[in-house]
Amino acid sequence: MGLKEKLGGLECEFRLDEPLSGYTTFQVGGPADALALPGDERELVALLERCRSEALPVTVLGGGANTLVRDGGVRGVVICLAKGFRGLALDLDATGGPAIEAGAGVKIPALVRFAAEGGWEGVECLSGVPGTVGGALAMNAGGAERFIGEVVESIRWVPLAHGGVEALAARDISFSYRSARLPEPGIVSSVRFRVAQGEPGKLRELLQRDARSRRKRQPWGLPCAGSIFRNPPGARTGLLVEEAGLKGKRIGGAELSEVHGNFIVNRGGAQAVDVLALIDFVRGEINRRHGDELVLELQVIGEDGPCAARR
pLDDT in tens, 170-197: 999 999 988 899 999 999 999 999 999 9
| Amino acid 308: pLDDT | 54
Helix (H, G, I), strand (E, B) or coil at 2: coil
Cβ count near 181 (within 10 Å): 12
pTM of model > 0.75? yes
Q: Which of 178, 189, 190, 194 is catalytic?
A: 178
CA distances from 203 to 33, 231, 238 (A): 44, 29, 29
* Domain regions of the chain by residue span: 3-80, 88-216, 219-302
Burial of 125 (0-12, 13-18, 19+ CB in 10 A): buried
Q: What is the pLDDT of residue 33?
A: 98
Show Cβ contacts of residue 303 under 8 Å, excluding neighbours closer than 6 positions.
30, 70, 72, 73, 74, 75
- Which residues in the chain belong to E strands, given as ranges? 13-19, 31-37, 58-61, 67-69, 74-80, 88-91, 99-103, 120-121, 152-159, 166-169, 174-176, 179-181, 186-194, 196-197, 250-251, 254-256, 264-266, 299-301
Give the separation between CA 271 and CA 299, rounded to whole angstroms. 15
Selection from 243, 242, 308 nearest residue 280 by Cα: 308
Rounded distance, CA 71 to CA 193, Å? 36
**Nearest Cα to Cα of residue 80 among 103, 57, 64, 95:** 64
Catalytic residue from among 21, 127, 227, 257: 227
178 in active site: yes
21-35 pLDDT tens trace: 999 999 999 999 999
Distance (Å, whole) CA 25 – CA 82: 13
CA-nearest of 18, 93, 67 to 296 is 67
With a cut of 70, list the residues of the chain below it in pLDDT.
144, 213-216, 307-311
Closest CA to 124 of 95, 103, 144, 153: 144
CATH topology of domain 88-216: 3.30.465
Q: At what angle do helices 108-118 and 200-217 cross, to 10 degrees?
A: 150
In CATH, what class is 219-302? Answer: alpha beta
Q: What does R_g of the chain's alpha carbons equal in angstroms? A: 20
297 is an active site residue = yes
Reply yes or no on whether 255 is catalytic.
Answer: no
What pLDDT was estimated at residue 94? 78
d(CA 250, CA 253): 7
CATH number of the domain at 3-80, please? 3.30.43.10
Give the whole-angstrom CA distance, residue 253 versus residue 80.
26
What is the pLDDT at residue 188? 97
